[in-house]
Amino acid sequence: MLLRVIRPLSASVDGVDLTQFEAGHVYSFSTSIAAFLLAIGAAEPCDQDAEPVTGPTRSGLFESRRESTVAKQRWTGPERRRTKR
């Protein structure tokens, strides 16, 4: 969905850092993020003819996540209990 950002953003939604989107520019947002931006009054719909700004690479949109400190073990399947017959 094409939206024009009308005020600076300072949060992240669904793992997407919104601080990199500048006020006054048109961007293409997913439906959920577009609904959020419209609800808080940070963006307005624009014509479908508008040319969106080519934003940062997709990898730059998402916040970095810490690696788990838990040791990764290979899953070997369900445990089988020995039963007496």
pLDDT of amino acid 10: 85
pTM of the model as a whole? 0.59
pLDDT of amino acid 5: 92
8-22, 25-39, 60-74: segment of lowest average pLDDT: 60-74
List, as one string, the DSSP characters of 40-51.
Answer: TTSEEE--TTSP
DSSP state of 59: H
Mean of all residue pLDDT scores within the chain:
75
- Residue 68's pLDDT band, with cuts at 50, 70 and 90, is low
The answer to whether the beta carbons of residues 42 and 19 sit under 8 Å apart is no
Q: How far is the C-alpha of 64 from the C-alpha of 66, rounded, in Å?
A: 7
Q: How far is the C-alpha of 21 from the C-alpha of 27, rounded, in Å?
A: 8
pLDDT of amino acid 82: 60
Q: What percent of the chain has pLDDT over 70?
A: 62
Could you tell me the two tokens for 35?
């609904």
